[in-house]
Structure 1
Amino acid sequence: MAASPQLELAVEDAEGVRLAASVGAARVELCAALAETDGITPSIGTVEQACRVGLPVHVLVRPRPGNFSYTAAELEVVERDVEAALDAGAAGVVVGVLGADGGPDVPALRHLSEVARRRHPAAEVTFHRAFDAALAAGVDPADALARLERAGVDRVLTSGGSPDCGAGLAMLARLVELGRNHAPSVQIMAGGGVRLELMPELVHSGVHAVHTSARGLDAFTGSRARAADPVLAAGMAAALRKAA
């Protein structure tokens, strides 16, 4: 029997953390402006409130929307926000920096990993879906994973280089396999367009975790709702356990 992947919920406030805890999620990714920007760094007050709930909080540190190539000044902001998030009680940070060739920027990521663990030795570092931008740029997936390993990253969030996990299932399974040889300490976490009916296939792919905002469709606009649906979140958690 396959092990059940951990569930991570993307949330924007302490109420979202409480919901995640109620459905048995392992942790949350805390971000701001999820619907508008796909997530940017939340305020330090929001981080402090979220961390008081008790579930491990991993803070997205993304200073702006757009690409993942940053200036020296922007990287300085990222570094300070990493420190501030961990000082506020976060269990980890979620970052993503790409180099000139479109792949993960090892020196910048290694520096951020070292900064995080100087602040909190047990801090976890997740590389976000900038990884999918790297795959789209033609970076070899085995090389991309190996770079994350060298940079001290614990986990990568990816849809397998596709617009969503449904289209990326084959690559997700391949990344799990490649990771065993090229990045054995890096967990593969599926995220992006995760739907309830995908849970059995995601478990079968071998991913270590599944990331979702569990936002259903707004009945009036047809677009994604702004907040997680408690029933959908609970259903996803149950589906992961059942599929395993």
Structure 2
Amino acid sequence: MIVEVCANSLESALNAQKAGADRIELCAELAVGGVTPSFGLLQLIKEHISIPVNVLVRPRSGDFTYSDLEFEIMKRDIALCRDLGFNGIVSGVLSKDLSLDYERTKELVEASRPLEFTFHRAFDWVTDPMAALRQLQELQVDTILSSGQQNSSVEGIDLLTRLSKKSNNCVIMPGGGIRDTNVVEFKKKGFNAVHLSGIKFHRTLDQTPQIAMSSPGFLRDDEIAVSNLATLKEVVRLVKEK
């Protein structure tokens, strides 16, 4: 059974390797579900980590429906990861109606080859998971990461089990709420892989900052934050006018 650790830093990746994990999914910003890690982190991972590493390619938080420019960023990030010699890519695209964006996902899969391809937890938003499974198998996706469309894999284990039984050539990998207290349940169900972060928080500061830098108002699944042209124009006009 493969144990994949979702690592958000070099330290997390080193701990995963020391613990005997089989594979790492590398990302940044777990608080928003993960985004593409920085170039500097990618380089250091290649220098310090010897187990297989799959890289999350997700240009921003929020939904999984992307503009043409965002999609171009994703393709360039995939090319970079391929050139750096990573084991795989973790990504995916949905349409606005929350169905699988077959054509764009196909383009990402093809751009990733010969690397492995995992379709990430965007799968947990699709309206017809069985149809999405069939489509992803057609695209020869290697792995689907899912919580069974629930808040945790334990809650979603029934759907995960049905998906696993229907899958012919795609590994269904439970992820979301996997812990030492429940992982054996997934082993007993016959899953071939599990995904977890194993995160524990630790304090790094000697003092508590007076103001917050995190902005809860930005944490929206169905909206994205974009600098507004009209607002920027007005500020520039006010500053520049004589």
Place the TM-score, normalised by the shorter chain, in its bin. Answer: 0.7 to 0.9
Say which SS state the counterpart of residue 85 (structure 2) adopts.
coil
The aligned amino acid for 1:42 is P
Which of 76, 85, 92 is the aligned partner of 2:88?
92
Mark the runs of 5 or more structure 2 residues left unpaired by the alignment. 204-242
> C-alpha displacement at 1:218, in angstroms?
6.2
What's the counterpart of residue 99 of structure 2? 103
1:217 Cα deviation from its structure 2 partner: 6.1
Residue 125 of structure 1 aligns with an amino acid whose one-letter code is: F
Residue aligning to 2:50: 54
Which residue of structure 1 lines up, in the alignment, with residue 34 of structure 2? 39
Conservation of the 8 A alpha-carbon contact between 1:172 and 1:205: no
Structure 1 residue 205, shift from structure 2 partner = 2.3
What is the CA-CA distance between 1:104 and the residue it aligns to?
1.8
* Separation in structure 2 between the aligned mates of residue 177 and residue 63 of structure 1, nearest angstrom: 32
User: C-alpha root-mean-square deviation of aligned residues, in Å?
Assistant: 1.5
1:60 partner amino acid: L
Q: CA deviation at 1:90?
A: 1.2
- Higher mean alpha-carbon deviation, 12-21 vs 66-75, is at 12-21
Moved more, 16-25 or 77-86: 16-25
**Shift in Å, 1:109:** 1.2
TM-score (norm 1): 0.79
- How far the C-alpha of 1:30 sits from its partner, in A, is 0.4
Contact 1:172–1:190 (Cα < 8 Å) also in 2: yes
Identity across matched positions, percent:
38
Paired residue type of 2:67: T
How far apart are the structure 2 equivalents of 1:101 and 1:152?
23
Aligned residues: 202
Q: SS where residue 177 of structure 1 aligns?
A: helix
Structure whose alpha-carbon radius of gyration is higher: 2
CA shift, 1:12, in A, is 2.0
**Residue equivalent to 2:66:** 70
Alignment of 1:153-168 (within 5 A): 153-168=141-156
What is the identity, as a one-letter code, of the residue corresponding to 2:14?
Answer: R
Greater relative CO (CA pairs within 8 A, separation 6+):
1
* Gap regions ≥5 residues in structure 1: 220-244
Q: Provide the residue aligned with 1:235 in structure 2.
A: none
Q: Which residue number in structure 2 is paired with residue 127 of structure 1?
A: 119
Displacement of 1:14 = 2.6
Q: Which residue of structure 1 aligns with residue 206 of structure 2?
A: none
Question: Structure 2 length normalisation: TM-score?
Answer: 0.79
Matches within 5 A, 1:178-217: 178-179=166-167, 184-216=168-200
Per-residue deviation, 1:45: 1.4
